[in-house]
Amino acid sequence: MFSLEGKTAIITGGASGIGLAISRLFASQGAMVHIFELNYELAREESDKIISAGGNAKAHSVNITEQAKVKEEISTISAGSNIDILVNNAGIAHIGTAESTTEQDFDRVMNVNVKGTYNCIHASIPFMREQGFGVILNMASVVASVGIPDRFVYSTTKGAILAMTLSVARDYVKYGIRCNCISPARVHTPFVDGFLKNNYPGNELEMYNKLAASQPIGRMGTPEEIASLALYLCSDEAGFITGSDYPIDGGFIRINN
């Protein structure tokens, strides 16, 4: 079950955190994984590790905010294979309220999280529509459904991702294209470690435990757990699922609220 043998998958932000876990798992299940990353050296390093482990992967230097570059890379991939799967995982975070968020920060986060996702969908759909099938999986968040403090623009972008998912699913179901999204709560990634180091120097462990305890299940999720859900939703076994959001949150939405 959940084989991706013979399928081509594009994973944005696929060389770190949740994206890397997805890249590794998809490759282990037989997919040819194309990693889109701003940090090309990191993407190449991780793709080489996937190849050494017996998988197939290729690194691409892509700024997803640049539509022309996104189109160029996806068009090049399509020349040699179908575009079976697109995972829009790349994104950035920001801490602040509507009052404290600057215009510059608002534009920066919107540009990556919303426009970047749009660019990849916009570039992929023509190929998926022509071939008559495809799966798009977007990375939303629990903040699209539940308000949390000091995440104004980040929450705004993830709400947009949820709405975008529903729109694409509705418009393209007749072309055999499925579109869903995942909404994780807090997941222990290198980003979390960096966030704690930068914002709570000397109190990292205390704040980590506090953040972990905010999930009713008592811990943060792991990138591998998110990747497992992504694998299911992108596999043929999920062929009857489209237009859905999947919280994976340790009970955060339904139990806490």
Instruction: Give pLDDT tens digits for 174-212.
Output: 999 999 999 999 999 988 888 888 888 999 999 999 989
Q: Map tokens 């022509």 to a residue.
A: 130
Mean pLDDT, the chain, rounded, equals 96
Q: Reduced to 3 states, what is the DSSP secondary structure of residue 25?
A: helix
Amino acid making up residue 143: V
Q: Reduced to 3 states, what is the DSSP secondary structure of residue 226?
A: helix
Q: Reduced to 3 states, what is the DSSP secondary structure of residue 79?
A: coil
Q: Is 154 a catalytic residue?
A: yes
Catalytic annotation, pick one of 154, 172, 208, 246: 154
* Residues 72-127 pLDDT 10s: 999 999 999 999 999 999 999 999 999 999 999 999 999 999 999 999 999 999 99
* Residues 66-84 pLDDT 10s: 999 999 999 999 999 999 9
Topology of the domain comprising 8-187+222-256? Rossmann fold (3.40.50)
Cα(253)–Cα(257) distance, integer angstroms: 6
Question: Percent of the chain, pLDDT > 70?
Answer: 99
Sheet holding 32-37, edge to edge: 56-61, 32-37, 8-12, 85-88, 134-139, 177-184, 245-248
DSSP letter assigned to residue 151: B
